[in-house]
Structures are given as C-alpha cells and as structure tokens.
Structure 1
Amino acid sequence: MPRTGRRPGYSDTREAILTAARQAFAERGYDKASIRQIATSAGVDPALVHHYFGAKEQLFLAAMEAPIDPGKAIEQVVAGGLDGIGERLVRTFVTVWDSPAGTPAAALVRSAVSHDWSARMLREFITTQILRRVIGNLELDPNEGPLRASLVASQLMGLIMARYIIKLEPLASAPPETIVATVAPTIQRYLSGPLDQ
C-alpha cells in the first residue's frame, strides 16, 4: 500500500508530485487527470499536493515549468473585447517571448518538436490554459471558436519557430513593433473576420 504521509524532504516530495503530475497530464490530459490520482502515484496524501501547489491548474503550470501564468496575461489581453485583440495579443506575446521568460518557453517548444511526450504536454497547455480562455473570455461562437483559436495558435507557433527557435533573419532581429504591425492584422482576422474568405 502506498505511503500517504509526508515524504522525507521538501524537494523530494515536490519532485515526486511533479513527476507523477507530468505523467498523468501527458497520459490522461488535463481534464481527466485528478489530484487524487497524482497523489496516489506520488505516494502522498492529496492534501499534500494542495499544500505544495494549490489547485490543479497551479500544479499543471508547475509541471509544465510555465514561465508565466497565462491566465493573467490572457485576462489583460481579452479585457478590451474583440476590437483590437490582434494587436494586444501579439504585443503581449512578443513581450513575454523577448523577455527572460522566453528562454524556458523556447526549451519547452524544442522538446515538444522532438519528443511525443513533450508534444502532448504542450498541446494540453495550449488547449487548456490558452485557447479555452480566449474562446471563453471573448464569447466566440461555440461553432467557430475552437477553429478560430487554433488558427491563432498556428500563427503564433509559426512565429515562435521562425523568430525564437530557428532564428530566421530578418524576422529574428526585427523590432517588436514591426512584429506587432505585421502579425496583428492576421490574428485580428482569425478572431473577428469571416472564416470563409
């Protein structure tokens, strides 16, 4: 029977929980993974998982080693509604990726390109922490929202690959304002324009 009390040390316990969480999120996805299952797998009481990480969302962000809390960033981006969303989204995106937070994020993307497990984790992160929030907060048509949000993700993932991973010039060294001015209209069209053109 697995132990349910405290483990020998903070870092050992925390790492055991994170290892179990990464496995659960990769295998079952964010929605189907539960704190109870993760705790059992880590050999700890579920209350200990909550003690170290709080809610499932915070555990997921820690397991992903997310450099920022996407919920807070998206909250600011969507606050103005659909009008001007493309510019706000791209500006926030470039600001985060050009900052020190972009380094661990780039490592995560590199890993996802070469490892199926990392790709599943990144897909869960994008779907549950970013796309769902965009769709929900902007109150997009439920029939179009998922497609619109995944089109936005495709554009931003392409930007990540070209500017931050491959470092394709002159895009890699282009000023942020140039990126915002050129990419934002496409993002705006994906979110608010007709999809049949």
Structure 2
Amino acid sequence: AVRIEHCERVHVIVAAKRICIANCRECVFFLGVNQQPLMIGDNHKLQVAPYNTCYPQLEKHMSEVGILPTVNRWDEALALSMLDPHDSLSHPAGVSDVQAESATRMDPDQFTNFVIPNWLAEESTGSTNDNPFALPDAYAASQHKNQNNLGDIRKLIQEASLEESRKRELSSVLHVCFKDWLYGNLHSFAFMSYNSLRPFL
C-alpha cells in the first residue's frame, strides 16, 4: 500500500493496489488503484482523477507487484474521520461537529496527460506506450478534444505565411511561454516512480 500524508498543493500520480491519504490540503491525486482510496484525518479541498501517465516499463512493473490495469477505483474514495479531539484551532466547533471530507472528481475539461520525457530511449526496454488504465468516457473525450486542438494549432502555425524572422520570433515566444508555465507548475508535480514505491507495494 502507498500512504501519503501532510501534503499541500501538490499533484500526485500513483499506480498501486491500495492508497491511504491523510491530512492533506488542496492536492490533486491521479490514481490507478485496485481498491478504494482511503482518506483519513483532516483533509481539505482534495481532487481525484484517473491515472494519467505512462513510461515504457510501467506494465512490467505493475505486473511484478500485482497491480491490475483492468481495475481502477480512483473515484470510490472512502473517507474516515480520525481527527485530534484537542485540535480546537482547526475545529473550534468541536470534533463532534466535524465530518470527514472526501475528495471531488476533477472536471474532465481540466484533465491532462503527464508526459514523462524518454531521455534514454535507446537504453530503455519495455512495451508500454499508452496509459494501461482505461479512461472513463468523459475524460477520454476531453483528452481527444485536447489532442485535436493541439493538432489544429500546429497546422495553423505550419500554414501561416510568415517570413523566417517572424517564424523565429513566434518560436521564441512559444518557448518562453512554455518555460514560464513549466517553472510555475513544476513544484506541484510529485511523480511516484516504481523504484520509490517498491518497498511499499
């Protein structure tokens, strides 16, 4: 099982048999889990979404630890209240008035894939080239729409009648915008690799 606790404002991607989330705030969890996610303690404003990434050895690693790609209970979180009865600062009304807070589903329009760069393509071995967990229809449709939009943008840029200097200028602007976005969001992504999770699976 994987246990995640005391996280704040991060995005976490996990493939596991079981997951327990405790005392987290404003986090998004992209899950591929075979059992109901367990949420305990003082959680606030959490979101869950289907698993959203892959890498060449993913299915091999999942098979080694017994994770089934055909079963994903990402949206069936079970919330249990295990709050500190002396925590009057967080809950001045008293623990008896506090209900365990579960997680909401991410809006499909906000769903995106997390792409893992394959910098060692020549050395990597594995057959996984797509997400092994099937996406629910709404999320698959959103993904398809995003891919089409990206294709349209690429086509517009390729067909634009621009001089070479203007093309270079456009390319430079796009790179700057991407870097700004990347540096602004990189801290919020926590990708849990097989090696880091293996002792707990």
Is the structural similarity TM-score above 0.5? no
Structure that is richer in strand per residue: 2
Larger of the two Rg values belongs to structure: 2
TM-score by length of 1: 0.23
Higher normalized helix content (fraction of residues): 1
TM score, norm. by length of structure 2:
0.23
